[in-house]
Amino acid sequence: MTSKFNAALIAAAAIFCLPASAFATGNLGCTIEDKNLDLDFEAIYSYSDIGGLFQLRGTLDAKSPKVYKSLRKFEIKDDDLRQQWFRGEDLKLMLYRETVADGEPHASVKLIIEAKRPSEDDMGYDGTYALTIEPAVTGSESQSVTVKGKVSCGAG
Partner 1 sequence: MKRTCTALLGGAALLASSLPASATGGLDCGIKDANLNFSFSALFNRGSSQFLDASTSFEALVPGVHPRQVKMDGETLPLTQKWYEGDELKLQFYSELQNEEVDFASVKLTIQTKIDDDSGDHVGTYALVAHGEDLVEVTGEARCIAG
The nearer residue to partner 1, 38 or 96, going by C-beta atoms, is 96
* Contact (CB, 8 A) for 55 and 76: no
SS3 content of the chain, % helix, strand, coil (to 5): 20, 50, 30
Closest alpha carbon to 127 in 101, 90, 95, 155: 90
The nearer residue to partner 1, 37 or 91, going by C-beta atoms, is 91
The nearer residue to partner 1, 58 or 130, going by C-beta atoms, is 130
Element housing 124 (H / E): strand 124-134
- Asked if 112 is part of the footprint of partner 1 (rule: CB under 8 A), the reply reads yes
- Asked if 103 is part of the footprint of partner 1 (rule: CB under 8 A), the reply reads no
- Asked if 84 is part of the footprint of partner 1 (rule: CB under 8 A), the reply reads yes
Least gap, CB of 145 to partner 1 (angstroms): 15
Mention every residue, 6+ apart, whose C-beta is less than 8 A from residue 64: 36, 133, 145, 147
Q: Which residues bind partner 1 (CB under 8 A)?
A: 19-21, 49-52, 82-87, 92, 94, 96, 98, 108, 110, 112, 134, 141
